A and B are shown apart, each in its own frame.
Chain A
C-alpha cells in the first residue's frame, strides 16, 4: 500500500510510488463529470484566457488553450479567474467551470515560442479580457476532466487541427511594453509587479515565452513558470521589506477557503517563515491515512527554503506581498490545515490568495508568541496540536534567549 506521506509529498505529480499514473487522480478524474457539450469538431467561444504549457515530451511540449463552447465576450472571464473566484466559488463550482472548457492541444517546440505569436495564440493567452477564438479539432475529445494539483483542472482535450484567434486581445500596458524589452525574465517579472500586473497574467506571459532575453526566449511549462514567478515575487517584495519597520505585536490571522484553513502568525523580528501543513485523514491525498500527515518547511530569511514545495512558495508570495503593502516586516509561522472535504487540488492560487487576504485582515493580538500558538492549539484538534508541538521541537531557539535580552521566541 502506498503511504499517505508519500502521496502528500508527491501530490500526484512526481510519481514517487513508481506507478505510471497517479491512482488517486485517476479515481478523482472518473468521479468528476466533464460538463462541456461538444456537438462537432469546430469550437467557437472566447478563451478567458486559459493557456497551459505542459511538460510531457519536453522539449516538444503540449500547449493547451481552453475555450468554453458557445460562451463569448465578458461571460467567458469566470471560467479562469482565480482572483474573482476567491471566496465566491466552492471546489465543485471551480471543477465544473474548468470541466466546461474544451482544451485544444497544439504541440510546440519550447525553442519556438514565435510560432504561437504568429497565430496570435500567444497574445490572446496573455490578454486581460476574453478573446474570441475558433478551434477545429482533429477528433472529438473524450469527455473527461484532466486534473493537476499545481496548475488546476482542464476540461476535455483533443489535438487541434487549427486554432484561429478572431477577436482582439487587450494587454495590460506594462505587459505590452515589457515583451519588447531585452531584459532577464526576473527583471521583467519585477517590472510587471511594479507596474501592477496581476500574478496570473505574469505566469501566462512567462509560460508562453514572452519574458526574458529576446534571443533566449522559450516556452516554460506552466508548473515551472508558477514556481519561478512566486520565487521572483518573493525576492522582489523581500527587497522592499528589509528597510521597513517590524510589526510591534504578535498577531494571528485566520482565514479558510476550499476546506483549507490558514493560520498566519506574525511576530516582531526580521523576515523568516516557518510552514506547517497538516493533511487530515480523508483528504484526496490521505484517503487511507489513520492520522494526519505533517509537512514542514522553512525560509531562513533569505528567500531560500529548506525543501522544494510549490504550496509554500505560493504562501510566501501572498505573505510578503501583503506585508509589503502593510509597510511592515515580520517573522511568521503559517499553519495550513487541509480538511477531509478537499478531495482534489485545484491549483496553488488559492494558497497564495488566502494567505494574502489573511495577512491583510485584522488579526487577534497576543503578548507573546507562545500565547498565540497556545490559542491556535486551543481552537484546533489534537492533530494540529501535536503538529505545533513538533514545530516547536524542530525549531532552533533564538540566541537572544541565552543573551537574556528577551526574544519573541522566548517561552
Chain B
C-alpha cells in the first residue's frame, strides 16, 4: 500500500449508496470511464460502445460535503473493477473519494471504515455526440411511479413513449402491456406536449440499465419526440444531476 500519495482531488459525498448506484448505471454502459475533476465539480460522460446511449453525470461542488481540487485532473476509472470490488454501502454511509494522477481511492465511512485503492487507467477522451434537440414532449413525473412502470414492462424489448391528452403512456410493444402516468392519479406532475400527441419507441434494455437511479430521486424529467432521442433527467437529492440520452429505435 502506498501511503505518501499527494492527492490532487478529495471530496466527501453524503450518499455513498447513491454514488455506487451511479457507478452501477455507468458500469452497465461502459467498463471504463474518464472522471473529470474541475473547479466546478465532477463530470463523467460515457457513451456505450454501440453509441446508442449517453450518460452524463454532473455533480457540482454544492453536491458534496467538502470538495477540494488542488489542480484539475482527469482520472481513468476501471468502473467494472470498482463495482466488483466495492460492496453496496448502507444509505447512511458517507463516501470519501481521493484521486491523484496515479491512484484513486474510495473510503466508505460507516461503523467500520473501509478503504479501496485502485490504480488509475488510461482512458482515451473520445469525442462524444452532443445533440442539440428540441423535444416535443416534456414531462415531470414521480420517480418511483416511473420506475414501477418500466419494471412492469420488463421483457417488452421495445417501449413506446406516448403523450396522450393529460397522460404519459408507456407501452411494451412486444408484450402488449401498457402503463399510464397521469396527472389525475398524481404520478405525473407536469406535461407539455403538442395537441396532436407525440410518440417514439426506445429499447427497453437500455432504459432498464439506468432505472435504479429513479430509486434515489424524488422526481424525474422525461423528454422525447417523434424521431428523436429520449432524455431522462435525474435531479439527485444530494445535489447535482444525471442526464441520460437514448437514441430511438430505427
Contacts and interface: CB of A to CB of B under 8 A. Distances in A.
A and B interact physically: yes
Given A399-B229, A403-B130, A405-B127, A270 B49 contact: yes
B129 A269 contact: no
Chain A contact-residue range equals 20 to 34
Nearest to B206: A396
A271 B247 contact: no
Contacts of A399: 47, 51-54, 129, 131, 229, 245, 247
B109 interface: no
A378 interface: no
A272 B133 CA distance: 26
B229 A402 contact: yes
Interface in B196-250: 202-203, 205-206, 228-229, 245-250
A402 B131 contact: yes
B48 interface: yes
Interface string B104-142: 000000000000000000000001011101000000000
B10 interface: no
Contacts of A394: 249-250
Given A306-B205, A402-B229, A396 B129 contact: no
B163 to A, nearest CB: 20
Contact of B250 (A395, A402, A405): A395
B68 interface: no
Contacts of A301: 48-50
B203 A396 contact: yes
A68 B38 CA distance: 71
B131 A403 contact: yes
A393 interface: yes
B34 to A, nearest CB: 15
Given A270-B49, A397-B248, A399-B54, 20 more contacts: A269-B51, A272-B49, A300-B48, A301-B48, A302-B49, A306-B205, A392-B250, A393-B250, A395-B250, A397-B247, A397-B250, A398-B52, A399-B47, A399-B52, A399-B129, A399-B131, A399-B229, A400-B51, A400-B129, A407-B51
Interface of B: 31, 47-54, 127, 129-131, 133, 202-203, 205-206, 228-229, 245-250
Closest 9 CB pairs of A and B: A301-B49, A403-B129, A402-B131, A270-B49, A398-B51, A399-B129, A397-B247, A272-B50, A396-B52
5 contacts: A269-B51, A302-B31, A397-B52, A399-B129, A402-B228
